[in-house]
Amino acid sequence: MRSSLRKVLRITAIASGMFAAISAPQAANDFMTETDAHSLLGSYLAANLAKGINDNNSAAEFYRSALALDPTNAVLLEQAFQTEATEGHWERAVPLARQLIAKDADNRMAHLLLGLDGFKNGKYDVADEEFRKASDGPIGELTSALARAWSAAAAGNAQRALKLLEMPKQAEWAQFYLNYHKALIADVMGQPKEAEAAYEHSMRQDATTLRIALAAARHAAHEGNFKRAGELLDAQTERAQGEPHVLVRELREQIGPGKKTPLLINTPAEGMAEVFYGLGEALTSEGGLSMGILYLQLALYAQPDHAFALAALASAYETGQRYQDAIEVYNRIPAGTALQAAIDIRKAFALNSLEKVDEAKLILERLAKESPDDLKPLDALGNILRSRKRYGEAADVYTQATKLIPKPDKRHWSIYYSRGTCYERLKNWPGAEADLKKALELYPDQPLALNYLGYSWVDQNRNLKEGMSLIEKAVALKPDDGYIVDSLGWAHFKLGNFAESVRFLERAVELKPQDPVLNDHLGDALWRVGREREAKFQWDQALTLDPEPEELEKIKKKLVDGLPPSVEARAGPRETMRKVQQKRRKETKLNPALVE
């Protein structure tokens, strides 16, 4: 269901002008002089530059300075409103929304906030009218309908609430949300039969979404249908390959004769928060980061302690590399939730990104001690230590993790793979080879394990045919993975197949043009086939992409002298695969299970 939303969500976010400009240069932060910052143009430029480097708090301050100099400027009003609302500064965002509507009566996000403000203050007629005016575009129409329905429910008008959700002309992805909220509203308004029918409809549309399954299971258990509740939870456990989500385990313990299982949503206020949480989480997952964050903040305006909205907001901050902000939001999640261990693991990863490795290590060691049978803290700790090149410590942690696995299966391939890469870095090849083979035994089609073992064999001039076969299989499984395609090209290079090497390395650089290692490899291959001018271009390009210090001088030397006449494979698997893994770690996102 999410995939069908992607195009609509991206078009909507672009139309709203709310994609975050994550990649603005840090140097822009130094653009403003003290004098410029107090001028209208200076404040406006400073605000835009601050937004470009994801410093929304500074952007809000600069927009406030600009507005003080030109309080009726519509452009400043809109930018200031969006920034204040995106940061959850409601005491400033609400008045700005009113001023903005006076200038731009069709501003959808301003109407949404004013609708929420009316809802929170019990002015349901005002809320309904504001939400009605926010019905612009596919996402706007859906948001408006859902919010108006919950306003009607809060006013006690169940019939009107459910009627507002009857929108047969809406697309299938929108019908999914309409049916889900129809079920929630029917439950809250004491209409269990209507709720059951709507839940079943939603489950037929998409039975994989954990949040929907939990809501349906809670409804069934609330009505005494423990068998149906169990079936829904069993299906989620099966999809998780036998390792149920912590929320599934928690709910299963709450279900049974004599136990009154609460519904997922129990009040209209919770339902309203669910509207903005669900759409906000979808937006952030599909590329609309800035608009998704705004929706999540609106969810928290409706319900400040909404644990899932908080977790999704923290995840979005991590995506935007706002790690300290992410930690602060994680700390706002009410203590004692079943998500606590997952939250602490994410905090540890954020601390690692802030170079606070020892603090991250302390959190994960505490978790491992508190939950001695849980693999996740050990896996996270091993990954952090490995990313910091503390391979011996990481290998010990992974070994500790393997002792918690009575019978390894497909789920555990990464533990053995990760320890194998540590052993390889520690020059313990027998141990590395055994672990990499074990990872493939558990998961024969795992591209990373296929690539690492295959390349290592080729690099060592061992099992050449089988090694190339493993790499080729990895490429077939992930043909658009630049790092794996690079491995195949570099393996051909080491075997002297330079023409084939160029073919694959050119493709790898197309896929990952900003990687210095891949550009360097392509330069070497081009040199070997006599394309020396192009080779120097690629080496020069590699220099601009911040290569590691030990590679920098090698590349500079090649730009002067080229390659020696004889074939010299300069980088073994340790160097190449280390760089690959470092890139992968930088691109790692929050585990979706945390925010489902």
The full DSSP string for 199-257 is: HHHHHHH-S--HHHHHHHHHHHHHTT-HHHHHHHHHHHHHHTTT---HHHHHHHHH-ST
CA nearest neighbour of 345 among 357, 332, 363, 359: 363
Average pLDDT of 257-261? Answer: 86
| Per-residue pLDDT band at 59 (split at 50, 70, 90) | confident
Give me the pLDDT at residue 305, please: 93
What tens digit of pLDDT does each residue of 264-284 get?
A: 999 999 999 999 999 999 999
CB distance 443 to 410 below 8 Å = yes
The size of the chain, in residues, is 596
Average pLDDT of 528-545? Answer: 96
Give me the pLDDT at residue 61, please: 79
Q: What's the rounded Cα separation, in Å, for the pair 230 and 137?
A: 39
Give me the pLDDT at residue 242, please: 66
CB distance 327 to 350 below 8 Å = yes
CA nearest neighbour of 369 among 357, 381, 358, 353: 381
Give me the pLDDT at residue 49, please: 80
Chain centroid to Cα 579, Å, comes to 22
CA distances from 446 to 441, 471, 508, 593 (A): 10, 11, 19, 21
What tens digit of pLDDT does each residue of 114-131 get?
A: 999 999 999 999 999 999
Give me the pLDDT at residue 415, please: 97
CB distance 519 to 545 below 8 Å = yes
Give me the pLDDT at residue 13, please: 38
| Per-residue pLDDT band at 591 (split at 50, 70, 90) | very low
| Per-residue pLDDT band at 566 (split at 50, 70, 90) | low
CB distance 520 to 501 below 8 Å = no
Q: What's the rounded Cα separation, in Å, for the pair 430 and 438?
A: 12
Give me the pLDDT at residue 38, please: 55
CA distances from 15 to 209, 280, 282, 467 (A): 28, 16, 17, 49
Average pLDDT of 174-180? Answer: 93
CA nearest neighbour of 493 among 516, 510, 518, 466: 518
What tens digit of pLDDT does each residue of 406-461 get?
A: 999 999 999 999 999 999 999 999 999 999 999 999 999 999 999 999 999 998 98
Say if residue 28's pLDDT is above 50.
Answer: no
Write out the H or E segment, with its range, that includes residue 103: helix 90-103
Tokens of 327: 């930690």
Q: What's the rounded Cα separation, in Å, for the pair 341 and 363?
A: 10
Average pLDDT of 174-198? Answer: 95
Give me the pLDDT at residue 414, please: 96
Give me the pLDDT at residue 288, please: 85
Torsion sign, CA atoms 343, 347, 348, 349: positive
What tens digit of pLDDT does each residue of 99-111 get?
A: 999 998 999 999 9
CA distances from 451 to 123, 270, 282, 379, 421 (A): 61, 47, 33, 21, 12
Average pLDDT of 530-540? Answer: 96
| Per-residue pLDDT band at 5 (split at 50, 70, 90) | very low
Say if residue 481's pLDDT is above 50.
Answer: yes
Average pLDDT of 299-306? Answer: 96
| Mean pLDDT value across the chain | 87
Say if residue 137's pLDDT is above 90.
Answer: no
Tokens of 289: 């980061």
For the chain, which domains are there?
461-586 (1.25.40.10)
- 3-class SS of residue 591: coil
| Per-residue pLDDT band at 67 (split at 50, 70, 90) | confident
